[in-house]
Amino acid sequence: MTPQNPKSPTLRIRPARLDDVPAITQLIAANARRGGLLPRSDASIRAGIKNFMVAEPDSFHDVPALMPAFANDGHSVESAPASTSSLDARPQVAGCGSLLPFNTTLVELRSLAVDETLRGAGIGQKLVEALVEEARERKFGTIFALTRAVAFFEKCGFEVTAKENFPEKVWHDCVACPLLANCDEVAVTMELATDDAINGEHAPQPDSAFVPLVSIPLTPVSPAMTTTPAPSAAKTVKKVVLAYSGGLDTSCALPWLRETYGCEVICFIANIGQHEDPQTVRERALAGGASKVIVRDLRDEFAKEYLFPLIQSGAIYEHKYMLGASVARPIIAKHQIEIAEEEGADAVAHGATGKGNDQVRFELSYMALNPGLRVIAPWREWPIKGRNDALAFARARNLPITETMDDIYSDDDNLWHISHEGGRLEDPWDEPDERTFQLVVSPERAPNEAETVEIEFVSGMPKKVNGNELGPAELIRTLNLLGARHGVGRADIVENRLVGMKSHGVYETPGGTILRAAHEGLEELTLDRETTTFKQQVALRYADLVYNGKWFTPLRDALQAFVTVTQRDVTGVARVKLYKGNATLVGRKAVYSLYREDLATFMSDDVYDQTDAEGFITLYGLPMRVKAAVDRNRLGRILPKDANKRIERRD
């Protein structure tokens, strides 16, 4: 057979699958060895596989063997014919590329690589076209890339712009890049949010080689998605993905969904650091009737992408609540939606009650990520009215639960915190029983000797504890154990729920309490006064957004971009002393500290001229002097003359 023109091989551009991960890893590594792409681990590619696309030749014998098409993100290199012996070694993935969303409007095109044996076949351009189309389908407004192959991307419709237009990228990735000092990459961008795109005119045609990674219909949300279904609507539900914790609520929800809707129920267990072994919970779900159980280990993602940004923001709700449950719901919902799409489910469900905040947090996240999926909230539909009814429901079906009427607290735990509500805690006058606490010892039982811990931050991200570099989840676990031993991190709170009522709860957040003290200490050194003041205002709004379930919103994304920029100089070490329930900052040092001892000293110095303060005070107080003069003149016009003379004598 005569070889085809290398510019038009028989190709199929498709979403990547998990079995493509080894080939993608090899492609990126090959480009990285030539000094282009940074290498990516197998684990990181696997975690983001839903955002990758690959080029798959239908028939490799039709494509001539040639040298690499692109050394890095489309970077062109010199071509030369390759030996025919390389034909037998060609991989089943000819090229790859991915999208990295930074917020709801901005996405990066990255990891663009093509096999070295397929030089000049136009694969890179086809991948770019498919990824741009995918970004448009997902309703992103802007797509950008950092590259040296400017001409290639201009050919694909991109325009050159300044890197500074993408602070999310610069301060999230670039500051940590080992090649930053010698970086010569150029930012290129393309605007996607056109009227045609909104009207769907750029959607792929049925015969297109592009297959959407995620399809998000923007049709209005019908009442049936969030309210009790009519009998006819119930029959339309075939498969539900339930966010399953193994507690009383979701244990009851599992058989109830099967009985009420006659549907298949897939249980999703998010491992975000809860104390109970996920495999034990998995067995409980199978015993309860789940057709399939999917467990995902999200601990590092939870720590790095949710908890660390929370610490950076300084957000805390109503002075005390460190948002442990609030910040966990978005990551659970995100992966629940992914699983629903992968499994072809037509509904998602959760076990949150109709009185609490979690129902809002889950469902706002569902709406933001895939509004076309139906939402089933059992607590708003079933005849169960309280925990006593739920216990009776579970006993009648021999469900494997651990709760009893003697232990009816509502507990929620993850890597960040443990919360306790219900039972005796419903009376805010009652002191919590020591048996309530599962992690943090009472200050009375804490050691009589203090312990000091040092935490090192890089650009606001905690990296080391006492000089030991730890992964995100392991770092928080380490601080949890240290703080818990010293009674650090207990909080007794009456909070204002989003749904309008007050609730009383007890929280244990030892590691978070230590991190907050350490991070604030470094910010004291590195943030100027104006930024500090404004960031305090941002923290209040950020906390409200997280508490109210608005993680996946443009405003939260925008505030996060501001916070990320403020963290660029928050690099250093903070020392915190732990003693009898207290986490006290006792030392801090920063690489980019704005603190100068020679300026602040009370001893004699040659740096600061104290006589300069007089002129500053005169100008700074000028508005008050003018106001005082006006007030005195006004007073003089209405007082008797002898009073005016007394005032003048005092002057």
- Specify the pLDDT at position 644: 55
Stretch 272-284: mean pLDDT: 94
Residue 59 — very low, low, confident or very high, per pLDDT cuts 50/70/90? low
Average pLDDT over residues 440-455: 97
Among candidate residues 73, 115, 249, 300, the one labeled active-site is: 249
The model's pLDDT over 516-532, given as tens digits with 9 standing for 90+, comes to 999 999 999 999 999 99
**If DSSP codes are grouped into helix, strand and coil, which group holds residue 332?**
helix
* Number of Cβ atoms within 10 Å of the Cβ of 166: 22
- Predicted confidence at residue 167, as pLDDT, reads 65
Single-letter code of the amino acid located at 287: A
* Residue among 284, 329, 556, 588 flagged as catalytic: 329
Got the DSSP string for 509-538?
-HHHHHHHHHHHHHHHHHS-HHHHHHHHHH
649 is catalytic: no
Let me know how long the chain is: 651
> Does the annotation mark 249 as catalytic?
yes
**Domains by residue range for the chain, with CATH:** 11-198 (3.40.630.30), 220-416 (3.40.50.620), 419-527+569-595 (3.90.1260.10), 608-651 (no CATH)
**Among the listed ranges 68-77, 315-324, 515-524, 572-581, which one has the minimum average pLDDT value?**
68-77
- Give me the percent of the chain exceeding a pLDDT of 70: 79
CA distance 228 to 80: 66
73 is catalytic: no
User: Looking at 8-22, 467-481, 614-628, which range is the least confident one?
Assistant: 8-22
pLDDT at residue 355 greater than cutoff 50 = yes
Task: Name which of 23-27, 86-90, 385-389, 401-405 the model is least confident about.
Answer: 86-90
Q: How confident is the model at residue 341 (pLDDT cuts 50, 70, 90)?
A: very high
Span 375-399, average pLDDT: 91
- Place 408 in a pLDDT band, splitting at 50, 70 and 90: low
Look at the pTM and tell me if it is higher than 0.75.
Answer: no
User: Could you say which of 111, 251, 410, 419 is catalytic?
Assistant: 410
433 in active site: no
Residue 397 CB-density burial (10 A; 0-12 exposed, 13-18 middle, 19+ buried): middle
Pairing of strands 95-101, 52-57: antiparallel
Q: Which of 20, 73, 115, 358 is catalytic?
A: 358
pLDDT of 461: 97
